[in-house]
Structure 1
Amino acid sequence: MTSQNIASAIEELKALLGDRLSTGSSILEMHSHDEAYSTPVMPDAVAFPETTEEVSEVVKICARHKCPVVPYGIGTSLEGHVIPVAGGVSVDTSRMNKVLEIHDSDLDAVVEPGVTRTQLNEELRATGLMFTVDPGADATLGGMAATRASGTNSVRYGTMRENVLALEVVLPNGQIIETGSRARKSSAGYDLTHLFVGSEGTLGIITKLTVRLFGQPETISAATCAFDTIENAVNAVIMAIQIGLPLARVELLDDMQMKGMNIYNPDMPMAETPHLFLEFHGSEAGVAEQVEMFRSISEDSGGSDFKWATKTEDRNRLWKARHNAYYAGKSLRKGAEGVVTDCCVPISALAECIARTKEEIAESGLIAPIVGHVGDGNFHLLILVEPGNEDEMKRANALAAKVNHLALELGGTVTGEHGVGLGKRKYMQAEHGGAYALMATLKKAVDPDNIMNPGKVVTLN
């Protein structure tokens, strides 16, 4: 691909989209990065299609000129997924934001990719249903499917992998295909829906999704609980899961993260020791039973200082504080930037993985609070670095690498929910072995000219 190819594509796109193709500097800058601590790269233009057919025409034009295409949702990804490293056109799906169908009897909804999880749940409020995948950020469902997002509810309700039933996708040649159906199971051929879920825009652009819904629980109770060690907190969760206690949410925050929480949320003071944030869903009697069972389990593991929240406003306050953990962590070092990484291990290995991670943090000399979706073995590290400090950045990257290799050593994965993007690509061979070459074969078969989000997930020669 050459700059002339890209320029020719942009001229055709202007004729197609008019003022919905932007080359303004502020728009280009917004689409040059996501939430990752990565070097921004400007696209050459940003397209704002409003229909699947327009997405198809945009991709056909770019394919003819071998112009790179980078799908863009809302920019909340954490591994540089949307950075247009080869230039080209960012395709922003934010104007494709309609909830098309709600099938309350079948517990599913059909949406365009620019619909956010908050928007969908607002539209579902009167139906008594809810969409459960909650990565913290108010991300678009298209982006959440592309990155196989999960979050705080995954321990009970599953990730995007379990909650996407069907997709409409524009392939790299502009062809529109549909995968899956609204049926809850199928044995009809290859599972193409889940090939695209997690493909990070490298195989096509998602233009429609059918997602699972769940009934809103009759009763919800949330709580925080303090522990003297991370190992005791994790052991309490393992025991709860092994006896089948249906935890809706269970989040681990280490002692350093709790220091940040107290700085950022001075009206919610808590002991600066490892904590679990929990939520229970069900009938009034069922939730009461779950609460008492977990209280007994946690007390046997040294849990204390229980604080319960049953009122909606109290629960919202609690989970808002959890969702703002990134900013709370950054408050530990004024002016610092955060290098974020995540990994996931079998839950039986989680306590060991976190303990060894904290040893690596101490050796690095950096501040790095930990937050974990402890119910499914996933945790996040926020490594704080001084902007422009090359030595600290080098140590931060070395720390992230050690944590990722530790996860592999313990039978896990280098990313539980952030995805690969640019940041995790260097670990893919170590994690997947020969299967990584198969991913490249699939990429080349679907996108032979490597125009779809090039440089992400796999590298083509």
Structure 2
Amino acid sequence: MVKHADLPRNDTGIETALGVLKQRFGERLQTGQAIREQHGHTTTWIENQPPDAVVFPASTQEVSDIVTVCAQHDVPVIPFGTGTSLEGHVNAPAGGVCIDVSRMDRVVEVNQGDLDCRVQPGVTREALNTHLRDQGLFFPIDPGANASLGGMAATNASGTNAVRYGTMKDNVLAVEAVMADGRIIRTGTRARKSSAGYDLTRLLVGSEGTLCVITEITLQLQGIPEAISAASCSFASVDAACQTVMSVIQYGLPVARIELLDETTVKAVNAYSKLSLPETPLLLLEFHGTEASVAEQADIFGALSKEHGGIGYRATATTEERNRLWQARHDAYWAMLQYRPGAQGIATDVCVPISRLADCVGEAQAKAADLSLVAPILGHAGDGNFHVSLLVDMENSEELDRAADYVSWLNDLAISMDGTCTGEHGIGQGKRPYLVKELGEATLVMSAIKLALDPQNIMNPGKVLQ
């Protein structure tokens, strides 16, 4: 378990603020130990640091009321969506008030003709796509977990469709947000293009709750494709699979998804999802478009993969088989845990330029073997992003030390390759030591922005910046 030092607590301010908020919110303010620990929950190896209370607002004005009270008494504010983040984003190292936006779960409007919508932050991506299905629309960002859209905006989530549809920052047109003093602002409109001043939308998207609480998001949507086809192709080595990915990107083939699974991940997925995929490195793909264009994309990929020794290439347009393949991909985390029963999965991610992907993955595999770590690898190979899920016996302190050394080494490796210490997990607490290594003096600019917008440092303190 990685421990982070607690920040100084303002016990008097917290007690006073909770008294005011209890009068205002009644039973919607909870202080029970279990619910506080749930909201300090982290799905990685960072210690749980629970808040002093959890409040469940139902509107933007109520969020503003909470933040205003906390600002008046110098009390930390920690936004919470569904708790699926991986780097300690929702911990409360200085205590304070967790704002759980799960009850703000309304799709405010859908503008079918303009392909956009407005949603409250507690709406999950699956709920939104269920709401949109009858209108022939969908929201493409798919981080795997059924995350809240507010949390996805706050962490600039991406996922399996990013190679074609981009990340959250590419699909958020505007946000409504409550700032550190309780003010409510809106950063943009539904227009697809604007030169109106600073790009505040992109500043707040990815700010991880350190600048504001996002209370509404205007999202760009896509039309559901006429045809969708999935494919799988096995390779003799990770290098061959990565070389194929490079060829696909350089060719300009508009794949919607291209996922890399190493041999350990394939073995785990086969056992968990009852599949019979060849237990060698694998690419899973999806093509979107018309019937003709999807067939053409599948044929071109087949030819490109053959040049790099691809075997067992298979494309399918049947919904049942396609869903089975992608459900197995989304269940990969649980499959990995089953692969080593009793172990905890410690997930880390990096992202490098496509031309360095093969080198980075290859070195990551070799380093894991050298340290005798079980380290399945899977990734959104189309944008150079991959994840290593270390399967670690948390009772073995020596193994934990090796895992910590590995995570540090991998982040440094990615940065040395002109990459980033995080492709989509965000910084939170877990990646914070590597941010200065990656950005250098630019972190001073980030600190200046933080100081200007949150001079009391009450917005999710202890995250992103020192």
Q: TM-score range by the shorter chain?
A: over 0.9
Equivalent residues in 2 for 1:24-423, closer than 5 Å: 24-265=32-273, 267-423=274-430
1:25 Cα offset (Å): 2.1
CA–CA separation in structure 2 for the residues paired with 1:85 and 1:299: 52
1:408 Cα offset (Å): 0.6
CA–CA separation in structure 1 for the residues paired with 2:126 and 2:345: 26
CA–CA separation in structure 2 for the residues paired with 1:160 and 1:144: 7
1:34 Cα offset (Å): 2.4
Contact 2:261–2:281, Cα closer than 8 Å, also in 1: yes
User: Which residue among 4, 28, 41 is the counterpart of 2:12?
Assistant: 4
Partner AA of 1:337 in structure 2:
Q
CA–CA separation in structure 2 for the residues paired with 1:42 and 1:186: 41
CA–CA separation in structure 1 for the residues paired with 2:103 and 2:43: 21
1:431 Cα offset (Å): 0.3
1:269 Cα offset (Å): 1.4
CA–CA separation in structure 2 for the residues paired with 1:314 and 1:92: 37
CA–CA separation in structure 2 for the residues paired with 1:210 and 1:313: 32
Q: Secondary structure at the match of 2:175?
A: strand
Q: Secondary structure at the match of 2:465?
A: coil
1:402 Cα offset (Å): 0.7
Provide Cα deviations, 1:209-255, integer angstroms capped at 9, x if missing partner.
00010010000000111000111111111111111110000000001
CA–CA separation in structure 2 for the residues paired with 1:68 and 1:330: 35
CA–CA separation in structure 1 for the residues paired with 2:13 and 2:68: 13
Partner AA of 1:256 in structure 2:
T
CA–CA separation in structure 1 for the residues paired with 2:105 and 2:42: 20
1:62 Cα offset (Å): 0.5
Contact 2:18–2:53, Cα closer than 8 Å, also in 1: yes
Partner AA of 2:151 in structure 1:
G
CA–CA separation in structure 1 for the residues paired with 2:198 and 2:284: 39
Provide Cα deviations, 1:344-378, integer angstroms capped at 9, x if missing partner.
00000000011111111111111000001000000
CA–CA separation in structure 2 for the residues paired with 1:29 and 1:121: 30
CA–CA separation in structure 1 for the residues paired with 2:269 and 2:126: 24
Contact 2:175–2:188, Cα closer than 8 Å, also in 1: yes
Listed as ranges, the gaps of 5+ residues in structure 1 are none
* 2:4 counterpart residue number: none
Partner AA of 1:193 in structure 2:
T
Contact 2:210–2:463, Cα closer than 8 Å, also in 1: yes
CA–CA separation in structure 1 for the residues paired with 2:148 and 2:65: 22
Any runs of at least 4 consecutive aligned residues in structure 1 with deviations exceeding 4 A, and if so which?
Answer: none
1:26 Cα offset (Å): 2.1
1:391 Cα offset (Å): 1.1
RMSD between aligned residues: 0.8
1:270 Cα offset (Å): 1.2
Q: Secondary structure at the match of 2:450?
A: helix
* 1:17 counterpart residue number: 25
1:2 Cα offset (Å): 1.8
1:78 Cα offset (Å): 0.6
Partner AA of 1:86 in structure 2:
A
1:334 Cα offset (Å): 0.8
CA–CA separation in structure 2 for the residues paired with 1:85 and 1:314: 46
1:271 Cα offset (Å): 1.2
Partner AA of 1:81 in structure 2:
H
Partner AA of 1:335 in structure 2:
G
Partner AA of 1:234 in structure 2:
C
Please tell me whether residue 446 in structure 1 is matched to residue 453 in structure 2: yes
Q: Secondary structure at the match of 2:159?
A: coil
CA–CA separation in structure 2 for the residues paired with 1:233 and 1:306: 12
CA–CA separation in structure 2 for the residues paired with 1:398 and 1:223: 36
CA–CA separation in structure 2 for the residues paired with 1:34 and 1:95: 21
Contact 2:298–2:315, Cα closer than 8 Å, also in 1: no
Q: Secondary structure at the match of 1:138?
A: coil
Mean alpha-carbon deviation: is it higher for 228-237 or for 71-80?
Answer: 228-237
1:332 Cα offset (Å): 2.0
1:308 Cα offset (Å): 2.7
Mean alpha-carbon deviation: is it higher for 308-317 or for 274-283?
Answer: 308-317
CA–CA separation in structure 2 for the residues paired with 1:389 and 1:54: 46
Q: Secondary structure at the match of 2:231?
A: strand
Q: Secondary structure at the match of 2:49?
A: coil
Partner AA of 1:48 in structure 2:
F
1:309 Cα offset (Å): 2.8
Q: Secondary structure at the match of 2:113?
A: coil
Partner AA of 1:45 in structure 2:
A
* 2:440 counterpart residue number: 433
CA–CA separation in structure 2 for the residues paired with 1:313 and 1:87: 47
1:307 Cα offset (Å): 2.9
Q: Secondary structure at the match of 2:114?
A: coil
CA–CA separation in structure 1 for the residues paired with 2:184 and 2:378: 40
Listed as ranges, the gaps of 5+ residues in structure 2 are 1-8
Q: Secondary structure at the match of 2:187?
A: strand
1:63 Cα offset (Å): 0.5
Structure 2 length-normalised TM:
0.97
CA–CA separation in structure 1 for the residues paired with 2:197 and 2:61: 27
